[in-house]
Amino acid sequence: MTVKVFHAELGTAVTTGLLGLAGMIGASELGHGWTESGPQPGYFPFYVGLILIGASLWNLVAAFLKHRAAHRHAASGGEVEEPFLDRERARRLGVFIAALLAFVVATLTLGIYAGSILYIAWSAWRQGGYRLPLALGVGVAFAVSLYLIFEVIFKIPLLKGPIEPLLGIY
Amino acid sequence: MTMTKAGLLAATAMMLAAPASAQFAPSRPVEFVVASGAGGGTDNFARTIQSVLTRDGIMDNPIVVLNKGGGSGAEAFLYARQNEGDPHKLIFGTNNVYLLPHVAKLAYTTEDLQPVAALALDEFLVWVKADSPYQTVMDLVNAAKDAPGTIPFGGSQSKDTDETLVALIEQTTGADFKYVPFNGGGEVGVQLAGGHVAANVNNPNENVGQWQAGAIRPLCVFAPERMAESEPVSGDMGWHDIPTCAEQGLDITSYQMPRTVWLPAGTDPEVLAYYQDALQKVSESQDWKDYLAKTSQSATFMTGEELAAFIDASEADAVKVFEAEGWTVQ
Amino acid sequence: MGNFDLLMQGFGIAITPMHLMLMVAGVLMGLVVGVLPGLGAPNGVSLLIPLTFTLDPTSAIILLSSMYWGALFGGSTTSILFNIPGEPSSVATTFDGYPMARSGESTRALTLAFMSAGFGALLGVIVITLLAGWASRFALRFGAPEYFAVYFLAFAAFIGMGSAAPAKTLVSLATGLLLASVGMDSVTGSIRLTFGFEDLLSGISFLVVVIGLFGIGELLSTVQEGLRFRGVASRIDLRDVFRTIAELPRYWATYIRSGLIGIWMGITPGGPTAASFMSYGIARSSSRKGAPFGTGRPEGIVAPETADHSAGSCAMLPMLALGVPSSATAAVMMGGLMIWGLTPGPMLFATQPDFVWGLIASMYVSNLIGVVLVLATVPMFAALLRIPFTIIGPMIVAICFVGAYTVSNATFDLWLVLIFGLVGYLFSRLDYPLAPLVLAMVLGHKAENAFHQSMVLSDGSLGIFFANPLVSGIMAVGIALLVLPKLIALGSRFRRRVPVE
């Protein structure tokens, strides 16, 4: 499956338009008028939302026009529209994003230290082709240096999970 | 009503805890959650306590300071609610803990926090530019009566202690100022020195620099009696030479902002007693007295029933102002 | 020449073995917090404050300010090497610094950045030395309308000359403005656009967004091209450093312009971040020849770095002389000052000359130490790029998330980083400019506040923005910057068309 630039443009324009709409709805609850002491709290978000919707519509139309032109160009024997993501890139990106997501979930449940050990070790092992013990070693070394820099030197507590208290680290 | 309940709770806690105060000791690092950004008044308050606790060996455990100043401090109080019953988190604030929920729709109530102690009272003064025509606070008030809504009065935020005080002056005297909220007392001080506003109600340490330089001068202090004797600050005038507002005919005898320490609700009475004890030691230390003198705040140490009563009274006064101004949210 | 004598006296105070040691320690710690995204100079400095209670105020401020300089230097390092701004003020450095590093010239990019930073700082300190009294009086003239005019000028300088499609620039700008208005609005005291989510109450942190947009977004772009860094691993050669230093005089015009912008924004609280953006924008619009900006132009590194550091040093002046900090770090230091029992204000220069001039003298010395130390780290940082991507990539990811977490200890921010990482990737693939979004997040709310305050003062009349020569002047320059490039473009098109037809 390949994603065309057209689809990406479309999706982005619709998303930013919805964001603008959300801004306008949120702002209209606060009042978006102009009183004698200047604008009400919702004034700026309301009009910024309106501008965002307008600009998104413009982008949407521009994407359609470009798409049609490209189609005509392709029909007359020109180059086909450039893909946004081909299959290979989409796969690579998909794996990376899935790993990112897993890292965030692991961090939220197990804490930053365990999360980053797992994530770094997994990447080095599965994607870098390093041996598992080495990969784990890199992960642990990273977590230990995080601990030293943040908690020992700068006294900033990072997010901890259920494992650290067992080791006597709070 | 909420406060009476919390007060009762605190009072019972005191009675229960008195004989057993050695039972609790923190077993992990204690978080000082500060309801202001780094560098703010509340931040300095918390960090001074941290340094006294550590240096005098009152508390051996490591202390970490977290700044959660978002939403005028609401972030810190929400954090307290999320950590109900956690004995290793102390929350540092002012009167914003119990006043914020009245003026903004927030997902916490004062019952989510338990007052531990108040360690200082910050005074409020009326300040004007040095070359301003107003000699007493009543001159300023009368000018605002003559030309309603034209005299710009600077304050640090919207619906905060500053605007509440300005509203209180208006309600007491019938004057009408034009309140302009800025970001923090320091900024308001400079806006006054630059002549962009006519007056402000800053705390002493927010304006003392400009006063020393003779750019601005105080009119009166909102306290039942004059402030403590001090070295002369500007010319031959010291803090004690500033008249009270009541002396000048403005009928607001007391308006002070407490610096308060709180625990999340639902901790054991021993925990409360432990921290009250530790903070009492802080309040008796020389370092603490130095801090109060340097920042021109008034000393106090309130816990238990006394604190609950203070909070009740202060809350009731403020809510009266909020209602008259139509700021209260349900 | 009173200031000069006082400065010499200050050097006597600043140059002692103890103080030199504090400067080295401060700069080194600053480098660490600067390099780590999220853990910025304000955090670092506030963590050091308790340690300073045992020092005398002069030593304490030397330690803290050295840490600040170190953090400013360190912030540029990750901007250039990984496209992750370590400090908010080094966002603009990524625009040309990262492309230059990617084309294999990381040593040159880093050297350019550090030397410009050092030069900017020097310029700033010289201004403080010579103009202390005048500058603080000038800053007093800035009320709400003047502030708004300054923010307007920063926007105008940056937006006026953009090369991206106007509708996409507008989307980026509007998104940034919307994000900036989430949370408590300090002027009206109302809570905006949180839709009932508690996590949004404190607003969306600019740093978290930047870490996602630039750090994670860039990693995603890297990954889609294969699991390695784009660009060649750089040669590490000390000669490169010297060769770059030798080319610096060529950019004298950029240096002077950026230095002046930085000084101005440091004195009238616009802050280093605004200064670096504005300086970058103006350098871009005033350049006529050569490769376009954003492709690794040296001026694109020189301009924001010089302005960032001259603003950073000049920000000390309003803090000391007026008690108004024009950067977050200065705000923290001011808190320290009060704890040490010193009152910032116009009298500080008169009542505490040893403290003030000791600090100013130390700024010369510690910035020098900073440049030397940070140049010494160039080979080490450049070597980081040679670590295989499958090792360093995930580490950068982890550091990005850790950094975002430390901004306000909120787990919600981890999700924001992920989301903005995707947004950053999408926007850069589809040619949406990211800079307007970032600028809007930095200045949007401040500009709105200043506007609102002006409206309260003027009872809703826009005339207040043209009420005195100062504010009208700034507004006029802003409008000119916004409109002139378009007019010139129109004019040149017209002129070109005539001979053709």
Q: How many helical (H) and strand (E) elements, i.e. helices and strands, does chain A have? A: 5, 4
Work out the percent of chain C whose per-residue pLDDT is above 90. 32
Tell me how far CA of residue C454 lies from CA of A45, A102, C142, C457, C471, in angstroms.
Answer: 18, 48, 12, 5, 12
Cα C440 to Cα C155: distance, rounded to the nearest angstrom? 8
Q: Which residue has the higher pLDDT, B269 or A168?
A: B269
Taking 80 as the threshold, does the pLDDT of residue C40 lie above it? no
The shortest CB-CB distance from A84 to any of C177, C429, C454 is to C429
Cα C439 to Cα C209: distance, rounded to the nearest angstrom? 12
The whole-number average pLDDT for the span B248-277 is 94
Question: Per mean pLDDT, which of B254-263, C164-173, C326-335 is the most reliable?
Answer: B254-263
Domain that holds residue C84: 2-500
Instruction: For chain B, list the domains and their CATH numbers.
Output: 2-121+257-325 (3.40.190.150), 125-241 (3.40.190.10)
A/B interface, count of CB pairs below 8 Å: 10
Can you read off the two tokens belonging to residue C15? 């140059």
The whole-number average pLDDT for the span C297-322 is 89
The whole-number average pLDDT for the span B228-244 is 90
Contacts with B, C 41-70, CB within 8 Å: 42-43, 45-47, 49-50, 53-54
**Beta strand segments in chain B, E:** 30-34, 63-67, 89-93, 113-123, 125-129, 152-155, 178-181, 199-200, 216-221, 256-264, 298-302
Of all residues in chain B, the one with the smallest CA distance to A41 is B158
Bridge-based pairing of strands B113-123 and B256-264 is antiparallel
Chains with 3 or more CB pairs under 8 A to chain A? B, C
The whole-number average pLDDT for the span C269-286 is 84
- Chain C residues whose CB is inside 8 A of the B328 CB are none
| CB A143 within 8 Å of CB A103 | no
Which pLDDT score, from 0 to 100, does residue C222 have?
Answer: 82
Taking 90 as the threshold, does the pLDDT of residue C185 lie above it? no
Q: Output helix, strand, coil percentages for chain B, rounded to the nearest 5.
A: 45, 20, 35
**Residue C49 — very low, low, confident or very high, per pLDDT cuts 50/70/90?**
confident
Is C332's Cβ below 8 Å from some Cβ in B?
Answer: yes
Tell me how far CA of residue B46 lies from CA of B93, B270, C458, in angstroms.
Answer: 9, 22, 39
Q: Of the ranges A42-56, A94-108, C31-45, which one carries the lowest mean pLDDT score?
A: C31-45
Burial code (b: 16+ CB inside 10 Å, e: under 16) for A127-154 equals bbebeeeebbebbeebbeebbebbbeeb
Work out the percent of chain B whose per-residue pLDDT is above 70. 93
Cα C294 to Cα C297: distance, rounded to the nearest angstrom? 7
DSSP-derived letter for residue C292 is P
Task: Kindly tell me the burial class for residue C353, based on how many C-beta atoms sit within 10 Å of its own C-beta (0-12, 13-18, 19 or more).
Answer: middle
Do the Cβ atoms of B183 and C323 come within 8 Å? no
Q: Which residue has the higher pLDDT, C231 or B61?
A: B61
**Residue A16 — very low, low, confident or very high, per pLDDT cuts 50/70/90?**
very high
**Residue B330 — very low, low, confident or very high, per pLDDT cuts 50/70/90?**
low
Task: Give the distance from residue B124's alpha carbon to the nearest chain A alpha carbon, in angstroms.
Answer: 26
Cα A158 to Cα A113: distance, rounded to the nearest angstrom? 8
| ipTM field | 0.94
Please, which residues have CB within 8 angstroms of residue C127's CB and are 6 or more apart in sequence? C135, C263, C267, C310, C314, C317
**Residue C499 — very low, low, confident or very high, per pLDDT cuts 50/70/90?**
very low
Of all residues in chain C, the one with the smallest CA distance to A139 is C395
Least Cα distance to C176 among C190, C158, C189 occurs for: C158
Cα B257 to Cα C227: distance, rounded to the nearest angstrom? 58
Q: Where are the domains of chain A?
A: 3-85, 87-167
- Which candidate in C395, C418, C458 is best for mutational testing of the A interface (most A CBs within 10 A)? C395
Q: Which residue has the higher pLDDT, B128 or C106?
A: B128
Contacts with B, A 36-65, CB within 8 Å: 37
Which pLDDT score, from 0 to 100, does residue C234 have?
Answer: 53
Taking 50 as the threshold, does the pLDDT of residue B12 lie above it? no
| pLDDT tens-digit series, residues B31-48 | 999 998 777 788 889 988
Contacts with B, C 452-491, CB within 8 Å: 453, 456-457
| pLDDT tens-digit series, residues B157-205 | 888 899 999 999 999 999 999 999 988 888 888 899 999 999 999 999 8
Which pLDDT score, from 0 to 100, does residue C501 have?
Answer: 35
Report the amino acid identity of residue B28. Answer: R
Contacts with C, A 130-159, CB within 8 Å: 130, 138, 142, 146, 149-150, 153-159
Which pLDDT score, from 0 to 100, does residue B22 have?
Answer: 53
The shortest CB-CB distance from B186 to any of C45, C324, C339 is to C324
Q: Of the ranges A80-94, B151-165, C328-342, which one carries the lowest mean pLDDT score?
A: C328-342
Do the Cβ atoms of C175 and A19 come within 8 Å? yes
> Which residue matches tokens 């890292």?
A103
Taking 70 as the threshold, does the pLDDT of residue C235 lie above it? no
Q: Which residues pair with B121 in a beta bridge?
A: B258, B298
Quick one: which H or E segment has residue B177?
none
Is A62's Cβ below 8 Å from some Cβ in C?
Answer: yes
Q: How many domains does chain C have?
A: 1
Contacts with C, B 242-281, CB within 8 Å: none
- Which candidate in B210, B217, B287 is best for mutational testing of the C interface (most C CBs within 10 A)? B210
| pLDDT tens-digit series, residues A19-35 | 999 999 999 988 888 87
- Chain A residues whose CB is inside 8 A of the B28 CB are 170
The whole-number average pLDDT for the span C107-117 is 91
Chains with 3 or more CB pairs under 8 A to chain C? A, B
Cα C496 to Cα C487: distance, rounded to the nearest angstrom? 14
Report the amino acid identity of residue B32. Answer: F
Which pLDDT score, from 0 to 100, does residue B3 have?
Answer: 46
Taking 90 as the threshold, does the pLDDT of residue C161 lie above it? no
Angle, nearest 10°, between helix axes C217-224 and A87-110? Answer: 140
